[in-house]
Structure 1
């Protein structure tokens, strides 16, 4: 009676093929995750900047904090930086001194270190 099953060589060949396919797919997967975070960051920045502009147009001044945008219902919640995963890591920019407008939040940038896939630093977006 002959036993049925796989030989060690057959198992090694199959495992090496699976490892080869995984090594081809994994970098593309992780690159797509990073690109998704970058797209989410750009969208978050655009949304918050629009809310800051609307606040300034309505109130005649810029908000003092991002939480003021939330309490005034210009945003539902404080934005999360998709790159760092934190809500308090934003770099806030004050309005120009010669503009004559009060407030502390004129613009915001990501506090994430490093640069995006286009080579631009996250803090410059």
Structure 2
């Protein structure tokens, strides 16, 4: 019995062999190779979803402003000043609140902001440009 305990103590104190470490690292690398693309693809999809939602919120606030006042706001900050929005939403692609591209109405006397688009360069997962959303 004593020799068996001595053998176990020596074996445990010795540590891992190089082959065991390589096998463990290979398994970890394989799992990362499977999981990483799904993770980063999910982040891109989430940013695009947030961009669509922020555009929807801005456009809805513009419509409500127009319904209440009979004209469009002169600038996006008017939506915050008049409490149609708590703050200008961030464009998740450019990570900026100042990157929105403002489209004025056809009649300049109706205000300055008729529609809003993203100022981000690039193409979404659906193949359309962010600027066209």
TM-score above 0.5? yes
Q: Please name the residue that 1:75 is paired with.
A: 85
Number of residues paired by the alignment?
123
Per the normalisation by structure 1, the TM-score is 0.94
In 1, distance between residues paired with 2:68 and 2:18? Answer: 74
Pair 1:93-2:83 in alignment: no
- Structure 1 Cα separation of the partners of residues 109 and 49 of structure 2: 31
> Gapped runs of 5+ residues in structure 1?
none
What is the TM-score with the length of structure 2 in the denominator?
0.88
Given the alignment of the two structures, is residue 11 of structure 1 paired with residue 11 of structure 2, yes or no?
A: no
Aligned to 2:110: 102
Gaps of 5+ in 2: 1-6
- Which protein shows a greater Rg? 2
Residue 70 of structure 2 corresponds to 60
Q: 2:116 is paired with a residue of what secondary structure?
A: strand
* RMSD of aligned Cα (Å): 1.2
Deviation of the 1:101 alpha carbon:
5.2
